[in-house]
Amino acid sequence: MTNPSSPKPDQGVAVLSVVVPAYNESEGIRTFHEMLLIPALDEMREELSRLGQVPYEVVYVNDGSSDSTLAELHALADQKENIRVVNLSRNFGKEIATTAGIEAATGQAVVMMDADGQHPPAYLPEFIRLWQGGAQVVVGVRSNDAGGFFKTQGSRYFYRILNSISDSQTVPRSTDYRLLDRGVVDEFLRLGERKRITRGLIDWLGFRREYIEFEAPERLAGEATYDMRKLVGLALNSFTTMSIKPLFIFGYLGVMITLVAFITGISIIVQQFMMGDPLGWDITGSAMVGILVAFLVGILLIAQGILAVYMSHIYVQAQGRPLYVVDRSSSRNLAR
């Protein structure tokens, strides 16, 4: 039985689309395709065939690779009609490449996965089982650490900070290895932000979700393209994309500085000038100037916080996200 929110199978529309962005993966892409992905999909072919005339399709997105990745993908696509290649004109980044693949996919369910083998295709039957059971989003969660000490600790603090400032909650170690029901895909494609964090946008959409833990193996070949600099950039982009709270940090700091400077200044005036310094503080003129400067700095930061309020409204408006998202699978008597 198909998921309730999925369209009825039509000829030419796949039951399952697998979207695989690839950037300089020529050394391992053929191994990934022939030894891991296709065997896993063929194992489910009979079950998927009951749901539609086209059991599956694979959509590879070449993200402006500088090696022979595109040639390898063309060779794979020439072997079967259900292997498709989307070639981007240059390197736009993984998030954009993933979006391009999702938009090209026709499946009732769409799975995103990496081409380096660290998202094991052997878990695909479990993704499908949960989808058929009613899950609209199935998220792959790593059961092992992503790398060395700094990357592991950085990942933990990243999720703590993100969940503390974001309106939606992200499960730690969750990955881009995800299945999306067609209804979720349609809503995802309505989101027009240019600075995209795919998993964050999916989490923002909501919908019924399930989780699958998997142990990520080593890369099939080559080295990860996400170095520490890119990971830090991705984290900062996540914070600013998924929350407007960072805009108000200096405003809150200004309120604290202003209150402390004001209370300190009043205390000094009363204690030293009105009561004759009974506590023996002996505050110098330089110290008084310092307190006054701190008070004025606090005022400036508060003014910046007020500007941040207006900037946040402009920012949210510019994102262009829908005001709400309707889960049509569980609505009643709602015209499509």
- Return the structure tokens found at 170: 């992200």
User: Where is pLDDT greater, at 127 or 261?
Assistant: 127
DSSP E strand stretches across the chain: 14-22, 54-62, 83-87, 109-112, 137-142, 174-181, 209-214
Write down the residue that tokens 């395709």 correspond to: 33
Between residues 48 and 240, the one the model is more confident about: 48
Averaged confidence pLDDT in the chain:
78
DSSP label at 140? E
pLDDT value for 252: 78
Q: pLDDT exceeding 70 applies to what percent of the chain?
A: 70
Half-sphere exposure (Cβ direction) of 35: Cα atoms closer than 13 Å: 9
- What's the pLDDT score for residue 229? 66
User: 240 CB contacts (<8 Å, ≥6 apart)?
Assistant: 195, 246
Q: Amino acid identity of 207?
A: F
CA distance 294 to 306: 18
87 phi and psi angles, rounded to 5 deg: -105, 110
- Domain limits, the chain: 14-243, 246-319
Q: What is the pLDDT of residues 86-141, one digit of tens each?
A: 898 888 888 888 998 999 999 999 999 988 888 888 899 999 999 988 899 999 98
pLDDT digits (tens, 9 = 90+) for 212-222: 988 877 777 65
The SS3 call for residue 251 is helix
- Please state which CATH class domain 14-243 belongs to: alpha beta
Name the 3-class secondary structure at 14: strand
pLDDT at res. 238:
63
Are 152 and 145 contacting, i.e. CB atoms less than 8 angstroms apart? yes
What mean pLDDT do residues 254-282 have?
A: 76
Amino acid at site 80: K
Which residues, including other chains, have CB under 8 Å from residue 160's CB and lie 6 or more apart?
none
Contact 293, 303 (CB under 8 A): no
- Nearest of 125, 95, 87 to residue 109 by alpha carbon: 125
Q: How far apart are CA 312 and CA 318, in angstroms?
A: 10
324 pLDDT exceeds 60? no
pLDDT over threshold 70, residue 281: no
Q: Is 83 helix (H, G, I), strand (E, B) or coil?
A: strand
> Is the CB of residue 112 less than 8 Å from the CB of residue 177?
yes
Question: Which pLDDT tens digit goes with each residue over 185-194?
Answer: 999 998 877 7
